[in-house]
Structure 1
């Protein structure tokens, strides 16, 4: 299998995961009917959003959590054809072997980096990891580490900050053990005890909060808690209340910590709250400057800026962006609804005009 064939084979198996606190990567194992990721990617979230190349963004349940080995399993999308990817053998891995780390660093869609195994048995916090020099970054967590035969040999787990390509992956044998332990209970929600590694479920938890095998305190969600939406507060809650009033699914809109994405017609709007600057910045990415009628397009945008209130056209490279800025202390559900509604409506309206009347080019979307 060539490197290109290997990378192409994983495109539909690797998924993006987002919670109210961040983003990460997961990969689908067809033989087990589960999406694998790191526990720290989904920590304290029993519902997350997932998105893949061949399915739209949707909510999914976390059904297995393992704090010690930093593993979690998520239910896959229904009625979606996913490719077959294989688990390899950790015992066949050697120092110097070529590996490829696949994931979504910083939320970027599908990135593969090649490197070598620096050491197959680096011990950290009492566990064995595969040390690699393939570049991995925040957002890669939970993605597959793949050998030259296209087999998964590890789960990309963490990096050392300030290090030069010092990445670490959990060996695939640890993943296999977790899968073998959970699969007989598939469909139930289970937590692996960090002390004795027994599986704790609603059927065997002692007193509702203790591992029945060793007595370690376990946080296991009940059905109500599992289905309860993630709790947000402050400005983030106000933003989500506004989105809900505007008919948007606030949970699906979540794309990370204080970051949301929604679509209105042909326009994609990104909403970002930065507590350090006290502003909520909403950017509607429309279309790109045309090859012809450039002067006429600029004139149209400048005239529009003169008439717009609370919004402004700008250019991000060749892309036309309509933005609004709200000071966080001025944000209420009422003021936010008015500002967001105006931005959503104007974004779709201007995108249509710029494309049809000025020949602007639709922004290329990643597949």
Structure 2
């Protein structure tokens, strides 16, 4: 038996945060298979998703395997991750009600959160499948993360919760994961979907008539290839992504969720969000933190710049100085938005350096 702290330290380097244009989730790397495991609903409809971890900057990863019935998916690691500490799969059969477990993931975007609990029911049948019912708190963003036992081994994949329930979480047993891995490994590297009707491994090469499972005839739809996608996003979101690409940023790597993006300009981190309900695009550039001394001088500088600036303003988020800009969605075109974003990004980097060098403001604390 290993301690909770040892378990968390062991898993942190292998836990991956996953983002698509519609949301976020969690995955974990299995060294023996050289695959990242997650839930299918986290990556559904995507050929590529963005991933990042403590040992890897944000990158694109290809979805190699999708299984709608068991809600499993495998991603190809975008870099060599074989040097990470190995994570082993445990023995689901020996699991008992009341056993201690730990759920690890990124709930609500809070990186590397671990919650401890117990197994409420080893076998809880839902929609014809067995699940491990746990009372460890899991929330949106935990999906696809590992459920770990007292020996530090994976015994399940955190999959869903019952809304309104008090810590009613469910994890897919590791036995189902083993079956999927064993079935996929002979065609490792190929993009495949496991047929939800007969569990046949279907690739684009063996599709019957280009649409159907070759074994049972169930219609199978592969996600569109990036070059075949007509419009992955539309409206204002597409305009924002067009602007980011014109400014030299990857739209895929910039996405942090539905109608949310994040980029870095020099030392400044800029978050962009769009809420269709209030019609505004909000750009927040998070700069440095207030200094320990000389705060009065910093306030005077920020107020003066607020008076002189047009379309931008300073504010404080706690002790963090934020440079913001708002634009009404109907007023923004690709051309006007590009000009506004460029000015904001450059000013953010400029102000961050001035505040740090002249006023001795402190860098923002970042999770390592």
Instruction: Provide the TM-score with structure 2 as the length reference.
Output: 0.97
Q: Is 1:255 equivalent to 2:265 in the alignment?
A: no
* Cα deviation 1:15-73 (Å, max 9, x = unaligned): 00000100000000000010000000001011100001001000110000000000000
The SS at the match of 1:106 is helix
Corresponding residue of 1:233: 234
Corresponding residue of 1:296: 297
The SS at the match of 1:128 is strand
| TM-superposed deviation, 1:198 | 0.7
| TM-superposed deviation, 1:227 | 5.7
Q: Is 1:344 equivalent to 2:345 in the alignment?
A: yes
* Cα deviation 1:184-216 (Å, max 9, x = unaligned): 110001100000011001232111110111110
Corresponding residue of 1:212: 214
Q: Is 1:142 equivalent to 2:113 in the alignment?
A: no
| Residue 171 of structure 1, aligned match among 170, 173, 177 | 173
Q: Is 1:115 equivalent to 2:114 in the alignment?
A: no
| TM-superposed deviation, 1:226 | 5.6
CA distance in 2, matches of 1:55, 1:345: 27
CA distance in 1, matches of 2:363, 2:148: 35
* Cα deviation 1:312-365 (Å, max 9, x = unaligned): 100000000000101111111011111111110010000000001111000011
The SS at the match of 1:315 is strand
Whether the 8 Å CA contact 1:289–1:318 is kept in 2: the answer is yes
The SS at the match of 1:269 is strand
* Matched ranges for 1:266-285 at <5 A: 266-285=267-286
User: Over aligned residues, Cα RMSD in angstroms?
Assistant: 1.1
Whether the 8 Å CA contact 2:106–2:142 is kept in 1: the answer is yes
* Matched ranges for 1:18-29 at <5 A: 18-29=19-30
| Residue 98 of structure 1, aligned match among 95, 100, 108 | 100
CA distance in 2, matches of 1:162, 1:303: 49
Whether the 8 Å CA contact 2:38–2:157 is kept in 1: the answer is yes
Q: Is 1:181 equivalent to 2:183 in the alignment?
A: yes
In structure 1, list runs of 5 or more residues that go unmatched. none
CA distance in 1, matches of 2:223, 2:351: 46
The SS at the match of 2:256 is coil
| TM-superposed deviation, 1:107 | 1.5
CA distance in 2, matches of 1:187, 1:201: 11
Corresponding residue of 2:322: 321
Whether the 8 Å CA contact 1:47–1:227 is kept in 2: the answer is no
In structure 2, list runs of 5 or more residues that go unmatched. none
The SS at the match of 2:358 is helix
Count of paired positions: 365
Whether the 8 Å CA contact 2:125–2:131 is kept in 1: the answer is yes
Q: Is 1:199 equivalent to 2:201 in the alignment?
A: yes
Change in Cα spacing, 1:103 to 1:227, as seen in structure 2 (3 Å) is farther
CA distance in 2, matches of 1:133, 1:328: 43
Change in Cα spacing, 1:347 to 1:226, as seen in structure 2 (3 Å) is closer
Instruction: Provide the TM-score with structure 1 as the length reference.
Output: 0.98
The SS at the match of 2:189 is coil
The SS at the match of 2:74 is strand
Q: Any runs of at least 4 consecutive aligned residues in structure 1 with deviations exceeding 6 A, and if so which?
A: none
Corresponding residue of 1:73: 74
CA distance in 2, matches of 1:277, 1:148: 48
Q: Is 1:30 equivalent to 2:31 in the alignment?
A: yes
The SS at the match of 1:197 is coil
Q: Is 1:82 equivalent to 2:84 in the alignment?
A: yes
CA distance in 2, matches of 1:320, 1:134: 36
| TM-superposed deviation, 1:77 | 2.5
